[in-house]
């Protein structure tokens, strides 16, 4: 008589097993071990978790998901509208696309009902590391029966560099346990095709769908390659038509189940597709440009991670990092697999190919081979199918071979769907798969070479040595020391005590890069005031960057129009101003992560100043919105840079609403960083309304002025007077101004 699942579960709980033979105590001890490792790798950030995070500087990490959870405590788990930023209009923190992060955002939202956003994020990081380590431990232990190989796999899959670099900035990327579950579910289906294994496969895939928007693509592609891999494995193992048909049927049942389980995402797409498109969609040309920037190279997989202490001072190491820095960014290009995992995986493929094509006894008896040989064949087939597919997604959109231009899978995808730009994130399923394969190869090798003793001491020593080498390979001091809110300027703590101040603006106002707004939103954790600034670059695009610092007279006017009570500036000195009374000043170091937003001009002798704005009416409610929204301060003062030798401007009010039927006096200062000569022409509705030249040698700003209608956009085009090709970002613009003309 078959045992019921209830009886089996009861026996699991009450049965007496050897400690390392699948007992509950074994998994408790292993979980404690990986928890301790997680705390070590996170520099015990959870101890000071209300103010500390496992990051090195504010930005996406502190102004993204974590910030959302603390913006308004009374918000529902789907998030909503807040005027904590972009005051007084506010911002919608939630949008329908966030359904694809429900498995992270909802638990984090629940946590932050009881603890601070920082503490909640710290706890979620530990949970992510534990889910990865325990899932791969359980899978490898199930396949090999060797706890020490399972520990090796758990460490390698969890604490590899990409995970450590992505901890908070994109927290969904460390929840890669879903790919381990996919692997386990497909292996289960191959072994026992049934509705239960079909359900396991569907659940593992849909778990990815509700974890991160990128996982919609990653989980689907990975699952497809796994399905093909296990079918090929059945054919290689000569399991017969009945077995293969059973596997295919179970896969089809899994697809049906997946459609049902993923129905909420489909419903959201049907009912809110337009809103999702506005939030996520990019033009195909933009995606292809970004695809080239973030495309992975061979060096990304082979170069040890930045800040590896074991290679400090080695010129070859720094040379590799410099070469890598020519594309992508420090995080997305850290795709280091490690030579231990890579070497074992290559050995596995070589061993598999040799056995299949040259080892006669294995080929003739493959159908009757033992359990470990069967799993080895299945895993090898999965790797050989999956690796080329994932690498094709991770590279550029085209490759050039034999005089031919060959589109890659990445290029084919972006020709039709412009949603995902950083396909290097396929490293997540790839690494999980390679760790499993490398671990099983290690198990095969240790068994075949009869490295045994009574208590497996020799095997344990070999695996431990490989684990230590792997740890040295993966070592990085990224995010050391921890980011700590307590180190932010004391001005913010003073501001918190000012009950007469409701809303503030921090200067410079700007849209991009978003790290600047990330800094402002991070300071809000301390002072708790409403911000005129954004937390990300989703609102007032182009208008904030056109304003910049208090050097532009319209900036203070804009803050008044938006309802600001106070303004924060950073200058050489803090003095009372005609527009505001100085309340607080503090000497700061602009090179410090804590004391100024990124991209400020480096200086160790500056002050942060808090002014209470004088109550007076704005001059008028007309301001410029510019297409040149990327701001820089590398020239010694705030300016916006032109990627192309043209800029488009619109005249709007302080809420970016159009002004109809008026005329405005427009002015903007322009200069060349290369001190090149330019002619410029201002156009509106295809008609020239002004023209002039920038001085060639002085490098000083020239003021461009003209009168324009407020109804239509204005374009200023720049042409090099010597006929040479424009160098991107050479022309800089600042102090955009608009003053309405009384008719």
- pLDDT at residue number 368: 47
- pLDDT at residue number 286: 67
CB atoms within 10 A of CB 655: 14
Spatial CA neighbour of 667 closest among 552, 507, 543: 552
The residues that bridge with 718 in the sheet, in sequence order, are 680
Task: Supply the pTM of this predicted model.
Answer: 0.87
Q: Which one is the CATH code of 623-740: 2.60.120.1320, 3.10.450.50, 2.40.50.110, 3.30.70.580?
A: 2.60.120.1320
- pLDDT at residue number 652: 94
- pLDDT at residue number 394: 92
Q: Which helix (H) or strand (E) holds 691?
A: strand 687-694
- pLDDT at residue number 227: 97
Mean pLDDT split into 10-residue runs, the chain, 743 residues = 57 55 86 96 88 80 79 61 88 78 89 90 94 97 94 97 83 93 97 95 96 94 97 88 92 97 88 61 64 87 91 86 81 91 96 78 58 90 97 88 83 82 93 98 83 72 95 89 89 96 93 81 92 79 87 92 94 90 90 72 75 82 87 80 92 92 94 90 94 78 93 95 88 93 81
CA distance 524 to 120: 17
CA distance 124 to 129: 9
Return the domain boundaries, the chain: 20-52+95-474, 487-613, 623-740
- pLDDT at residue number 277: 58
- pLDDT at residue number 617: 67
Quickly list DSSP for 363-417: HHTGGG--HHHHHHHHHHHHHHHHHHHHHHHHS-SEEEETTEEEE-HHHHHHHH-
CA distance 706 to 719: 18
Q: At what angle do helices 117-144 and 24-41 cross, to 10 degrees?
A: 130
- pLDDT at residue number 687: 94
- pLDDT at residue number 41: 92
Name the phi and psi angles at 264, rounded to 5.
Answer: -55, -40
- pLDDT at residue number 1: 47
Evaluate whether 81 touches 92 at the Cβ level (below 8 Å): yes
Q: In what order do the strands lie in the sheet with 631-632?
A: 631-632, 639-641, 731-740, 663-672, 702-709
Quickly list DSSP for 9-59: HHHHHH----TTTT-HHHHHHHHHHHHHHHHHHTTTGGGGTTTEESSSSSS
CA distance 212 to 100: 5
| 3-state secondary structure string across 134-180 | HHHHHHHHHHHCCHHHHHHHHHHHHCCHHHHHCCCCCHHHHCCHHHH
Quickly list DSSP for 52-112: EESSSSSSHHHHSHHHHHHH-TT--TT--EE-SSSTTT-EE---GGGGGGHHHHHHHHHHT
- pLDDT at residue number 98: 78
């Amino acid at each position: 008589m078959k045992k019921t699942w209830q009886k089996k579960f009861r026996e699991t709980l009450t049965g007496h097993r050897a400690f390392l033979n699948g007992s509950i105590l074994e998994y408790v001890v292993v979980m404690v071990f990986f928890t301790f490792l997680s705390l070590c790798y996170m520099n015990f950030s959870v101890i000071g978790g209300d103010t500390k995070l496992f990051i090195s500087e504010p930005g996406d990490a502190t102004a993204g998901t974590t910030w959302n959870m603390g913006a308004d405590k009374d918000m529902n788990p789907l998030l909503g509208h807040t005027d904590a930023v972009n005051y007084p209009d506010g911002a919608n923190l939630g949008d329908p696309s966030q359904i694809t992060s429900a498995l992270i955002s909802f638990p984090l939202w629940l946590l932050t009902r009881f603890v601070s956003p920082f503490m909640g994020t710290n706890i979620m990081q530990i949970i992510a590391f534990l889910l990865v380590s325990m899932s791969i431990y359980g899978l490898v232990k199930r396949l090999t029966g060797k706890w020490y190989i399972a520990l090796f796999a758990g460490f390698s899959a969890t604490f590899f560099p990409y995970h450590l670099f992505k901890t908070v900035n994109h927290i969904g990327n460390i929840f890669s346990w879903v790919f381990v579950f996919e692997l386990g579910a497909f292996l289960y289906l191959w072994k026992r095709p049934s509705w239960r294994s079909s359900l396991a496969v569907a659940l593992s895939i849909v778990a990815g769908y509700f974890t991160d928007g990128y996982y919609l693509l990653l989980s689907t592609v990975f699952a497809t390659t796994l399905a093909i891999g296990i079918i090929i494995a059945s054919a290689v193992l000569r399991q017969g038509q009945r077995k293969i048909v059973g596997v295919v049927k179970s896969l089809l049942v899994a697809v049906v189940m997946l459609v049902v389980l993923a129905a909420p995402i489909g419903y959201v797409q049907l009912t809110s597709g337009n809103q999702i498109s506005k939030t996520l969609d990019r033009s195909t040309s933009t995606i292809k440009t970004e695809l080239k920037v973030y495309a992975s190279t061979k060096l990304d997989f082979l170069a040890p991670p930045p800040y590896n202490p074991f290679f400090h001072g080695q010129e070859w190491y720094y040379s590799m990092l410099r070469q890598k820095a020519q594309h992508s960014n420090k995080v997305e290009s850290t795709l280091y697999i490690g030579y231990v995992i890579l070497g074992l995986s290559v050995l596995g493929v070589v061993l598999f190919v040799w056995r299949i094509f040259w080892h006669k006894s294995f080929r003739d008896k493959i159908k009757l081979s033992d359990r470990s040989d069967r799993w080895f064949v299945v895993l090898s087939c999965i790797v050989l199918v999956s690796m080329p597919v994932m690498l094709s997604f991770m590279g550029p959109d085209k490759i050039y071979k034999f005089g031919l231009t060959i589109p890659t899978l990445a290029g084919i995808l972006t020709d039709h769907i412009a949603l995902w730009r950083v396909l290097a994130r396929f490293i997540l399923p790839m690494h999980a798969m390679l760790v499993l394969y490398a671990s099983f190869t290690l198990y095969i090798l240790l068994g075949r070479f009869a490295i045994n003793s009574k208590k497996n001491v020799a095997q344990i020593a070999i695996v431990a040595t490989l684990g230590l080498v792997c740890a040295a390979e993966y070592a990085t001091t990224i995010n050391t020391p921890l980011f700590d809110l307590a180190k932010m300027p004391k001005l913010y703590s003073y501001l918190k005590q000012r009950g007469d101040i409701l809303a503030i603006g921090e200067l410079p106002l700007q849209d991009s890069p978003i790290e600047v707004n990330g800094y402002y939103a991070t300071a809000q954790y301390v002072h708790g005031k409403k911000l005129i600034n954004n937390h990300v670059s989703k609102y007032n695009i182009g208008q904030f960057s056109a304003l910049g610092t208090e050097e532009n007279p319209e900036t203070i006017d804009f803050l008044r129009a938006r309802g600001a009570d106070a303004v924060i500036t950073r200058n050489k000195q803090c003095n009372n101003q005609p527009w505001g009374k100085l309340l607080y000043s503090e000497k700061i170091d602009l090179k410090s992560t804590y004391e100024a937003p990124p991209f400020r001009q480096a200086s160790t002798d500056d002050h942060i100043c808090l002014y209470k704005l004088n109550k007076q009416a704005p001059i008028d409610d007309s301001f410029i919105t510019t297409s040149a929204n990327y701001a820089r301060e590398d020239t010694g003062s705030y300016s916006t840079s032109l990627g192309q030798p043209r800029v488009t401007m619109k005249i709007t009010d302080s809420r970016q609403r159009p002004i109809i039927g008026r005329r405005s006096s427009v002015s903007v200062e322009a200069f060349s960083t290369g001190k090149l000569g330019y002619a410029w022409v201002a156009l509106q509705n295809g008609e020239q309304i002004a023209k002039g030249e920038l001085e060639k040698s002085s490098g000083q700003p020239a003021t461009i002025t003209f009168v324009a209608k407020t109804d239509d956009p204005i374009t200023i085009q720049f042409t090099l007077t010597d006929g040479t090709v424009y160098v991107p970002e050479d022309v800089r613009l600042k102090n955009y101004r608009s003053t309405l003309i009384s008719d």
